[in-house]
C-alpha cells in the first residue's frame, strides 16, 4: 500500500503532512475523488464526480501523471497522488470518494465524509473473508479504511452483507447500485462511434469485449483463447463481421503486447480508461471470474465465461457461491466456447439473469450517483 519508492525521509514527510494538515478547516462543498490509486477518470468515482460538478461542487481528482490528467473533463482539477498538494486537498475537503482502500497513514479528522464506492460485486472471496490470502499490511490498512468510512455504496443485499461481515464496517450503506452503472440503464448508440474513433477501429465491425481478470502469478498462461475461432462463431451465430477488444485487468495491462494479438481478429483496448463505455459499444462479452460480468448483465447483451483453469483459480481464494449459479454459458476450452456461442439462446440467459438477481438481491436503480450526492447534501443540512 502506498508508494514503495519513497525514501524514508519522504515517507516521514508525507505521513507528517497528513497528521498536520488534517487539523485544517474543511471546505464542505469540496470533494477529492480517486479511482484505482490515481488512474484516469473512471469507475463509480467518475459518476459521482459528474453529479457533484452538476450541482456546483469543487471537484479534485488524484492522478499519477499527465496521461491520467488528460482524461479529466473541464472543471475537475488534477492533483498528483501523494504530493503535498494532494494531501492538502484531501485534508481540507468536505468529501472523499474512492473505489479502493486508503493507505494506512491517511488521516481523516473533522467533518469530512468518506464515501467508499468499492469496485464490484464479488465472485471470489475478498477482504476479511480472504484474510489468509492477503498481505498483513493490506489488512491493517483495510481495517483503518473501514473505520474512516461514513458511507459504503452497494448494488445488492449480498454485497451489503459482505460489508458487514468481511469489511469490518458498521456504518451506513446506500443500496442503490454502483454509480458507474447508471449509464448502462439506458442505450447510448453514440458510444460505438466514440470508442471506434478513440481506438482507431475499422467501421462496420461488431465488437466483443474480452475482459478477463488477473491470476495470482500475474502470468498469461490462462489467456489462450482462439480468437479467430471465436470471431468465426460470432459471425455465424449473430451475423455481420466481428472484432474482439481485449481489456486486461490493470494489474497485467502492460503485458498485452506479449499476447500475440492478431489485429485481424483482436485489438488491445487495455488503456481505454472507462470500461462502461466499452460495455455500451460492444455487442457481447467474454470474461472469466471477473466482476465485470455482474455489471454487463445490466445491458442484457450476450455474455460468455471462458474458464480454462477453474480448479486452480478456485483454490486461490475460493468462491462465495457455487459457480453453477452464474447465469452465463461457461466453457473450459475453445471447443466449448465455440459451441456456447453457436447455441446461445437469449431467452434462457434472460431468465437465468432474472433468477440470479432475485436470489442475490441485486439493485441497480440507474440513479445511484444522484442518490449518493443527495445523501451528501442532506448531510450538509444536518
Measured over all CA atoms, what is the biggest interatomic distance in the chain, rounded to whole angstroms? 64
CA-to-CA dists, residue 315 to 215, 216, 293, 359, angstroms:
12, 11, 21, 25
Tell me, which fold does domain 188-360 have in CATH?
Rossmann fold (3.40.50)
On the question of pLDDT at 164 being above 60, the answer is yes
Report residue 175: phi and psi, to 5°: -100, 75
- CB-based contacts of 57, cutoff 8 Å, min separation 6: 29, 30, 31, 95
**Is pLDDT larger for residue 254 or for residue 88?**
88
Tell me if domain 8-178+365-381 and domain 188-360 are identical in fold: yes
Q: Give which of 101, 87, 81, 104 is closest to 5, Cα–Cα.
A: 81
What does the alpha-carbon distance between residue 276 and residue 267 come to, in Å, rounded to a whole number?
18
Question: pLDDT digits over 12-59, tens only?
Answer: 999 999 999 999 999 999 999 999 999 889 999 999 999 999 999 999
Domain boundaries, the chain: 8-178+365-381, 188-360
The C-alpha cell 469530512 sits at 112
Q: What SS3 state is found at 96? A: strand
Mean pLDDT of the residues in the chain: 94
pLDDT of residue 224: 92
What does the alpha-carbon distance between residue 345 and residue 21 come to, in Å, rounded to a whole number?
58
pLDDT of residue 228: 97
Tell me, which fold does domain 8-178+365-381 have in CATH?
Rossmann fold (3.40.50)
42-56, 109-123, 308-322: segment of lowest average pLDDT: 308-322
Percent of the chain with pLDDT over 70: 99
**Any idea what the Cα angle at residue 179 is, between residues 208 and 374, rounded to 5°?**
160
Question: pLDDT digits over 183-224, tens only?
Answer: 998 889 899 999 999 999 998 999 999 999 988 888 888 899
On the question of pLDDT at 115 being above 90, the answer is yes
CA-to-CA dists, residue 298 to 280, 307, 363, angstroms:
11, 22, 10
Amino acid at each position: 500500500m502506498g508508494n514503495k519508492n519513497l525514501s524514508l525521509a519522504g515517507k516521514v514527510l508525507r505521513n507528517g503532512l497528513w497528521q498536520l494538515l488534517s487539523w485544517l478547516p474543511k471546505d464542505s462543498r469540496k470533494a477529492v475523488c480517486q479511482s484505482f490509486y490515481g488512474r484516469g477518470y473512471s469507475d463509480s468515482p467518475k459518476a459521482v464526480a459528474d453529479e457533484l460538478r452538476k450541482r456546483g461542487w469543487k471537484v479534485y481528482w488524484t492522478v499519477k501523471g499527465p496521461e491520467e490528467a488528460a482524461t479529466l473533463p473541464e472543471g475537475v482539477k488534477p492533483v498528483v497522488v501523494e504530493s503535498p498538494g494532494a494531501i492538502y486537498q484531501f485534508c481540507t475537503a468536505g468529501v472523499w470518494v474512492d473505489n479502493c482502500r486508503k493507505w494506512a497513514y491517511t488521516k481523516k479528522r473533522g467533518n469530512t465524509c468518506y464515501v467508499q464506492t468499492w469496485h464490484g460485486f464479488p465472485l471470489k472471496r475478498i477482504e476479511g473473508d480472504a484474510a489468509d490470502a492477503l498481505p498483513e499490511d493490506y489488512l491493517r490498512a483495510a481495517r483503518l479504511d473501514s473505520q474512516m468510512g461514513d458511507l459504503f455504496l452497494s448494488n445488492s443485499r449480498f454485497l451489503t452483507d459482505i460489508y458487514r461481515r468481511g469489511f469490518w464496517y458498521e456504518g451506513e450503506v446506500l443500496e442503490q447500485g454502483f454509480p458507474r452503472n447508471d449509464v448502462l440503464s439506458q442505450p447510448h448508440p453514440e458510444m460505438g462511434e466514440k470508442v471506434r474513433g478513440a481506438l482507431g477501429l475499422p467501421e462496420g465491425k461488431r465488437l466483443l469485449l474480452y475482459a478477463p481478470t488477473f491470476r495470482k502469478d500475474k502470468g498469461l498462461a490462462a489467456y489462450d483463447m482462439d480468437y479467430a475461432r471465436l470471431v468465426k462463431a460470432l459471425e455465424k451465430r449473430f451475423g455481420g463481421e466481428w472484432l474482439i477488444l481485449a481489456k486486461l485487468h490493470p494489474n497485467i495491462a502492460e503485458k498485452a503486447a506479449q499476447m500475440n494479438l492478431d489485429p485481424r481478429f483482436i485489438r488491445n483496448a487495455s488503456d481505454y480508461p472507462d470500461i462502461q463505455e466499452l460495455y455500451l459499444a460492444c455487442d457481447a462479452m467474454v470474461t472469466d471470474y471477473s466482476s465485470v460480468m455482474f455489471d454487463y448483465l445490466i445491458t442484457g447483451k450476450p455474455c460468455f465465461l471462458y474458464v480454462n483453469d477453474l480448479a486452480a483459480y478456485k483454490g486461490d481464494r475460493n468462491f462465495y457461491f457455487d459457480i453453477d449459479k452464474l447465469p452465463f454459458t461457461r466453457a473450459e476450452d475453445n471447443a466449448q466456447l465455440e459451441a456456447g456461442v453457436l447455441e446461445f439462446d437469449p431467452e434462457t440467459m434472460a431468465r437465468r439473469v432474472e433468477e440470479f438477481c432475485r436470489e442475490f438481491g441485486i439493485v441497480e436503480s440507474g440513479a445511484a450517483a444522484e442518490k449518493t450526492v443527495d445523501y451528501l447534501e442532506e448531510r450538509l443540512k444536518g
